Amino acid sequence: MTEGSSAARRGIGGGLARFGRSIRQPKTAYMVLFGFSSGLPYALLLGTLYAWLSDAQVDLETMGVFSLIGLTYAFKFLWSPLIDRISLPVLKRLGRRKQWIVLAQLLLGGIMLILSTLDPRGAIGLFSLLAGIGAFASATQDVVIDAWRVDVADETATVEILSTVYQLGYRAAVLVGGALALFLADGFGWPPVYALMGAILVGLGVVSLFAPENPRAEAMTESVEQLREPGELRPKIRAIALGVVGLLWLWALGDVVRFMILSLGSDPAARPDSVEFVSVQGPIIVIATVVIPSIIAAVLAWMQRNGRGTLDTAVARSHWADAALDHGYRALILPLTDIMGRLGWAAILVLTLVLSYRITDTIWGTFAYPFYLGELAYTKSEVAVASKFFGVGALMLGVTLGGVLFATIGRMATMTIGALTAALTNLLYADLSLGGAGMSAVSRYTGFSWLVEHLGGDERLARLMVAIGGENIAGGIAGAALVAYLSSITSKGYSAVQYALLSSLTFLVGTLGRGALGQMIETDGYYPVFLFTTALGGIAVVLCLLEWARTVRAGRAAAPSPAVGAAAE
């Protein structure tokens, strides 16, 4: 055995051992529970609820209004600075993050229990109000759970493993709140199902009382008093930056609120199109509240690093407006200047990677069902079996593989594999668009066709399942990798705001490109589109390689030289 192969085996063995130690950590177990509590209300409020409304014969116009609650998930970053800073009376004893997690879980459980006592058709007003409050609580819980994952990660319960098990818990909840809930509703009706789900969420809230917290997270944040010390930016400069960014965020919040008021208060025929709002206004809001503020933050970080516009001596506050300025700057601007200051010019590479990493999924996902049902002429039942049951299992397998890869080959190697496989699996759909000869061959030679046929399907269904399974395994690896990567570049002192902002960027480019992709499908058909999305995914692969090289160089620069280490000893 060569020395290289021996080292490789030791590395793989050591990685699997680290993976085993991480899985046994209490933090890891709670991360699974938090992933489950994050995915369950999302599935119940944005998916299963529509089945209940359909059974209750609620009209389609009213059901369309319920889609508005999805806006809370799309724009949850807008109130993340408040969640990052406000402490709740009494509950603050639980910890900076747990106070919000426990409150959200108990509130969601209570809402599900109340919903189970209502008739959707007879009490649609109260029903929709509770659903909206539940969506807001669920989106808020997501912000805090993302921050908790960053805060508690350590060398044993690594952020990569925590990200992996979070995804597993989330996907398991989607199955419970989706497929299992539908199955139970057939036998027992909807009220018992939602009562059961509410009881589960209340139980999770009780269990979450004992989750660990990071006691140092609060101490890591920038104090208000330090903003007036020498070397900090002058109050006038900070006031201008806060004013510009604050106006952009206020406009974004006002735009979302205005849209919701118009939609809820108008006649069905006069309601604005929610899909158009998310696809058109959504990217503009993200640019106004994330991209432009990030540029401003980069300028501020450069000014402070180079001593431009900084204080020479300490400055005292003169009245309440100064205190308001400092608190607002700490909540909204400092999370951005922190990450831009840490990354420097590398922020351009990092942000470009974040923008492009999941572009093949976000730009293509809207057209998946038209492709399955319209172009390939599969039935809804066949698509449900392939996508919702087999596909979710493949996705969870991909997430698990991502966790193993994190432990054995590292974060950036896993990121690169995720980007590469996510791009290449578009070719599986390209094959389907030409008749699926390749997928049929794979299905036959692996024995998968035989298995599907003995379970009541046929080879045609088997090749669809192979394509969806391949894409979902790749998507699971890529999804877990992206969550871990975003968590790794997020500061523990500002984890709620920074993660919420970065994660919002992952859907920006894909959302912007859906219109153009739809036109391309209409003009050229699906096959050229899948070749195009494959090539598009190659951009993320190249950026991953560049970021991998940057992190390696940064690690070498940060490591002490042998001479320094010897001197220290």
157 burial type by CB count under 10 A (0-12 exposed, 13-18 middle, 19+ buried): buried
Token duo for residue 454:
């003995």
pLDDT per residue over 274-312, tens digit each? 667 766 777 888 888 888 998 999 999 999 888 888 888
Going by pLDDT thresholds of 50, 70 and 90, the confidence category of residue 423 is very high
pLDDT at 442: 93
**Residue 29, helix vs strand vs coil:** helix
Residue 470's pLDDT is 94
Do the Cβ atoms of 491 and 219 come closer than 8 Å? Answer: no
Per-residue pLDDT, 3 = 38
- The pLDDT-based confidence of 186 (bands split at 50, 70, 90) is confident
pLDDT digits (tens, 9 = 90+) for 223-255: 667 888 888 889 899 999 999 999 998 998 888
Q: Give whole-number Cα distances, 527 to 129, 375, 427, 523, 532, in Å.
A: 44, 11, 9, 11, 9
pLDDT mean over 409-431: 94
pLDDT score recorded for residue 438: 93
Query: Is the confidence at residue 12, as pLDDT, over 80?
Result: no
Only one residue has tokens 């509410």, namely 198
pLDDT at 15 over 60: no
* Structure tokens that stand for 184 in this block: 């139970």
564 band by pLDDT with thresholds 50, 70 and 90:
very low
- Examine the pLDDT at 536 and tell me if it is beyond 50: yes
pLDDT level of residue 6 (50, 70, 90 thresholds): very low
pLDDT tens column, 354-403: 989 988 887 777 788 788 888 888 887 888 888 878 888 899 999 999 98
What is the structure's pLDDT at 491?
A: 87
| Range 525-532, long-range pairs (CB < 8 A, 24+ positions) | 525/433, 526/371, 526/375, 526/429, 526/430, 526/433, 527/430, 527/433, 527/434, 529/364, 530/426, 530/427, 530/429, 530/430, 530/433, 531/426, 531/427, 531/430
| Confidence (pLDDT) at 66 | 66
**In which band, very low, low, confident or very high, does the pLDDT at 566 lie, cut at 50, 70 and 90?**
very low
For residue 388, give the amino acid letter: K
* pLDDT for 65 beyond 80: no
Of residues 342, 328, 248, 243, the one with CA closest to residue 291: 248
Give me the phi and psi of 193, to 5 degrees please. Answer: -65, -50
**Looking at residue 113, what is its pLDDT?**
96
Taking the CB of residue 180, how many other CB atoms lie within 10 A of it? 17
Q: Where are the beta strands (DSSP E) in 36-98?
A: none
What is the torsional sign of CA 145, 150, 156, 158?
Answer: positive
The pTM (predicted TM-score) of the whole model is 0.81
Q: Which residue has the tokens 């900084």?
A: 310
CA atoms within 13 A on the CB side of 205: 22
Rg (CA), the chain: 25
Environment class of 122 (CB within 10 Å of its CB; exposed 0-12, middle 13-18, buried 19+):
exposed
* Nearest CA-CA partner of 256 in 70, 501, 82: 70
Strand partners, 310: 233
Question: What confidence score (pLDDT) does residue 22 get?
Answer: 64
Task: Over range 55-81, report the average pLDDT.
Answer: 75
Give me the pLDDT at residue 243, please.
94
- 233: which strand partners? 310
- Burial class of 359 by CB neighbour count within 10 A (0 to 12, 13 to 18, 19+): buried
pLDDT confidence of residue 569: 42
DSSP conformation class of 190:
H
Mean pLDDT of the chain: 84
* 490: Cβ contacts below 8 Å, ≥ 6 apart: 150, 339, 498, 499, 502
CA dist 319 → 88, 226, 490 (Å): 26, 17, 34
Predicted confidence band of residue 8 (pLDDT cuts 50, 70, 90):
very low
What residue type is assigned to position 164 of the chain? T
Q: What is the pLDDT of residue 87?
A: 84
Q: How far apart are CA 154 and CA 253, in angstroms?
A: 35
Rounded mean pLDDT of 328-347? 88
Q: How confident is the model at residue 19 (pLDDT cuts 50, 70, 90)?
A: low
Q: Which residue has the higher pLDDT, 431 or 214?
A: 431
Identify the pLDDT of residue 54.
Answer: 82
- Percent of the chain at pLDDT exceeding 90: 36
pLDDT of residue 5: 41
The pLDDT of 202-226, averaged and rounded, is 76
Q: What are the b/e assignments for 213-231, b being 16+ CB within 10 Å?
A: bbeebeeebbeeeebbeee
Query: Taking Cα atoms as reference points, which of 234, 221, 235 lies closest to residue 321?
Result: 235
Residue 84 binned pLDDT confidence (cut-offs 50, 70, 90): confident
Per-residue buried b or exposed e for 446-481, using 16+ beta carbons within 10 Å of the residue's own CB: eebbeebeeeebebbbbbbbbbbbbbbbbbbbbbbb
Q: Residue 263: its pLDDT value, please? A: 66
Band (36; pLDDT cuts 50, 70, 90): very high
Tens-place pLDDT, residues 468-507:
999 999 999 999 999 999 998 998 888 888 898 888 888 7
**Least confident stretch, 169-173, 200-204, 260-264:** 260-264
For residue 310, the SS3 value is strand
